[in-house]
Structure 1
Amino acid sequence: MADKRHPCWSRRHFLQRAGATGLLTAAGAGVMSRSWGNSSHADVGPRLPAGKDYKALICLFLYGGNDSWNLLIPSANEGSEVEEGFGYQTYASRRAGLAVKQQSLEISTGQVGSAAANPYHQKDAAASYLKGLYKVDKQWSVNGCAPELARLQQHNRLAWVVNSGVLVEPVDRQQYESGILPSFLFAHNHQQRYLATADGTAHESLGWAGRLADLWQSGSVNGIDHAHLFGMNMALGGRKPMFASQSAPERVLPAGKPLKMDSINQTGPANEQRRADVLNALITLPRRDLFEQLFASRQQTTMEMLTRLNAEWQNTHDYSSLTGSYGEPLFSMPDQGLIGLGDRLPAGLLRQLETVARMVEIGKRQGLRRQIFFVSMGGFDTHAQQANKHPLLLRNLSLSVWHFQQAIRALGMEDKVTLYSQSDFARTLQNNGDGTDHAWGGQQFVVGGAVNAGIYGAMPDLRVDSLQSVPDNRGRMIPGLANEQTLAALANWFGVAASDMIHLFPHLTNFQASDSVASAWLPLMKNT
């Protein structure tokens, strides 16, 4: 049932959403753009940070609620290393049959797939999933199905944010009934929306990245439109609420090479150009009303983008000499037999990340200063058969992120490109006999050369009656860090002024440690 308080679904917003979207139907699918009305910042003009540098952010969304308590795992011994409730013994007791063994695995200095401690030789996903851990510090370890993520941290390219999630204000078990909580806790669609808007009360209908694009891209100075054809925000595969804005465009691309204008009966540059000329003639015909004019304008923008993208794509980096964890070509998944989990891994996320890598290169070459991308991966709603499903998801995630980081390194842009993960929520510590159910606080990661590698946030007390646990005894951990505290750290690195932070993250001041709003965000990023 729709939340009636959410203004995004009013008739006015629905008409704006439909009328401002352009789709090149002649190509079967294409580049879409969206804006949501008139910007309240149109008279301000672009407010990009001074300089000529380039930076990109990539949001990697794990749809369904990733069981991150089985990705980054409490592995310290209680009594000798940490207090009771804060280590492996309580974790293992609460997880029961889904507890990953405390056995320590080794990360190969060469190809991950050739490591002596490689857990995949059994060709059994569940056995590999639960076999052991890669230690990252005294308190935490990474699941054996994600050695690339462990190695990225070992190379000082990855940070973990532990027990974080959607919050409006800090709460604990005692304040659970009386405090201000995010609406509709544990519901997929609502928690996804709150992550997109950075507002756990549903007061905002626009995405935080859309609001930033309005600040930085909208309006004109001396009659010159400063918004680039590509825009700042780009989603792979479909429109995303994170990019909903007042006027700044959202571009949507399919994963892979840009679409081309192919002739109905023949291929080749000459026929492709004739097809484009015919479409352009149709688009530029006189229009009778504003909607037709708007639609034609969007179609023309799409054609211009496709033309430019196809020309630029041919000149992007040649990755043919680079390989992944098993010696496979960089932008392909390794053979099923090499992975040894019994099932082939799909390459959907990897194709999205390849597109992002090439768009980063193109965007920088085109003179764009800032870009934000959205990529995603589904399947994380593991109510059943988690021991067989989750290892394949983690293996895919780890490999894809590793491949992407190697591509960005090859471009010489590690310090300028940062990827961060999000998911609806984490899962219950208590398993339901075959999987886990919707919970709240969990682990996320941030990857890039500008990242201050390490662990951010405090390990919660995992016991049933702890102050960090929701009082339903299922092991739903109350977040100790708000999602906005990570986003604010990334936005600060991106160049967002402190004075604009509250416009992007309305509840950020609830997490301040002093009078300065800067005290709310984490020291995740280097000053680059």
Structure 2
Amino acid sequence: MKRRNFLKTGLTGLSMMGMPQLGVKAALPSFSGYKALVCVYLNGGNDAWNTFVPASGSGNTQWTVYNNGRGDLSVANSDITLPSIGTLNQGSGNPYYSSGSDSSAYLGGAYPITGISEVNVNAMMPELARLLEDGKASLIGNIGTLVEPLTGKTDYQDAAKKKPSFLFAHNHQTRVIQTGKADDLNTTGWAGRLADLWSGINNGSVMGLNVSFNGQVRLMTGVNSKPILFSPDQTTSYWDMEKDSSNAVYSSRRNLFATLYGSNSGSDPFRSVYSRMLKSSLDLDELLRTYWNSNHKTTFSSKGSYGEGLFSVPTTSQTGMEEDLNGDLVEQLEAVTQLIHLGSNSSKMNFNRQIFFVNFGSFDTHGNQTEEHPILLRELSLALWKFQKALEEMGVDDKVA
């Protein structure tokens, strides 16, 4: 799916959901095929101006204004030739390499993109620049958490103008982004509200709509819905409770567990809720044992930027950087890829819609900007490229945004 088209058609409805009414259940829409949304949250607040650098093509004064405001943190107004990806030269052959210094490479220049005159892409992100150049990614500028338009300092200082709550607090603005309501910090998440409206989606699977790789996030929490919590490396499962009729111990333990959650059902609403939770947890255990902890996963022949395995993390000898990449985002997106493979396949989970949340950072770099930000941007670029290549190999790149 084209990212721009998805955002035009898909997000207009989210702002209209508001707070769902307790006890009111809308009819589940009729879905066909598979589509997924993957939210990569740059925790701590990414420095967008050093990621997408104001370019001279947007007006000769734009980079100058940026440079005057940034001082020593300013990325040079120097174009870097965008290379082919998949055959990147290693070590000192990297397009951003600058005497082995991550900071110098980070501030050394940026890649111009055909058709985008306003900004260039930071040197540490050749893969993302290539995705933009090839029309496989899009930039959407001037977005934020405003309650109403504020056109300048005068509007901001006008007491009659509505402003987001705690505008300069990381935690509050994270909540605003995840709820989609800048003047209400206590509402549910927009993906959670969507899950409430689409109750019973994916053939009523216990997986539901939302999957979080960062715990119980507000984004995916609704009035009646919660996300499935996932770990990239392995899933949590019940000990010796596999659904195996040939194993008397396993069968006895499962039957006992079923008796326990069955005994909690009845007229007491709290006992009924607890009973449903226990049953759902056992159903999820069975589903993941069947598909996740098995040979149902897929493998990839595509390679990474340096010819490494697609979801391998490049070494410093390959990246030409001083510091190793953490690999956390690469690992999370690999797990998301496998869940998309299982969900989109009619012979496996056979789902229609899924939303995934992954967390990467911290981007709250403070005085260590030139040391930490280049490492974060390098992994972000590599991980997004790897993810896109995996989607293309699976044939679902037009179904995931």
Q: TM-score, normalised by structure 1?
A: 0.64
Give 2:147's match in structure 1, choosing from 153, 168, 172. Answer: 168
Aligned to 2:7: none
The residue identity in structure 2 corresponding to 1:100 is: V
Give 1:258's match in structure 2, choosing from 232, 235, 241. Answer: 235
Aligned to 1:122: 99
After TM superposition, list the pairs within 5 Å mapping 1:77-226 onto structure 2: 82=59, 84=61, 87-111=62-86, 113-114=88-89, 116=93, 118-120=95-97, 122-136=99-113, 137-173=116-152, 174-178=154-158, 179-202=161-184, 205-217=187-199
Aligned to 1:414: 397
Cα gap change, 1:368 to 1:176, in 2 (>3 Å): same
Give 1:381's match in structure 2, choosing from 330, 353, 364. Answer: 364
More displaced, 126-135 or 116-125?
Answer: 116-125
**1:283 and 1:296 in contact (8 A); partners too:** no
After TM superposition, list the pairs within 5 Å mapping 1:460-471 onto structure 2: none
Shift of 1:199: 0.3
Shift of 1:404: 0.8
Cα gap change, 1:189 to 1:275, in 2 (>3 Å): farther
Equivalents in 2 of 1:199, 1:76: separation in Å?
35
More displaced, 274-283 or 235-244?
Answer: 274-283
Give 2:305's match in structure 1, choosing from 316, 321, 325. Answer: 325
Equivalents in 2 of 1:109, 1:218: separation in Å?
45
Shift of 1:114: 1.3
Cα gap change, 1:271 to 1:67, in 2 (>3 Å): farther
- CA deviation profile, 1:67-120 (whole Å, cap 9, x unmatched): 01000011216xxx6153xx2122112111111112221222243631855223
**1:55 and 1:369 in contact (8 A); partners too:** yes
Equivalents in 2 of 1:68, 1:334: separation in Å?
24
Equivalents in 2 of 1:277, 1:408: separation in Å?
42
Higher helix proportion, which one? Answer: 2
Give 2:34's match in structure 1, choosing from 50, 54, 73. Answer: 54
The residue identity in structure 2 corresponding to 1:152 is: L
SS of residue paired to 2:64 = helix
Shift of 1:316: 4.1
**2:291 and 2:297 in contact (8 A); partners too:** no
The residue identity in structure 2 corresponding to 1:235 is: S
Shift of 1:372: 0.8
Aligned to 1:231: 208
Cα gap change, 1:356 to 1:109, in 2 (>3 Å): same
The residue identity in structure 1 corresponding to 2:210 is: N
Pairs aligned (count): 367
- CA deviation profile, 1:136-182 (whole Å, cap 9, x unmatched): 13331000011111010111111111232111111122211221111
Aligned-residue RMSD, C-alpha: 2.8
**1:210 and 1:242 in contact (8 A); partners too:** yes
**1:122 and 1:341 in contact (8 A); partners too:** no
SS of residue paired to 1:391 = helix
Aligned to 2:55: 75
More displaced, 283-292 or 376-385?
Answer: 283-292
Structure 2 unaligned blocks of 5 or more:
1-18
**2:88 and 2:94 in contact (8 A); partners too:** no
Structure 1 unaligned blocks of 5 or more:
1-35, 220-224, 419-528
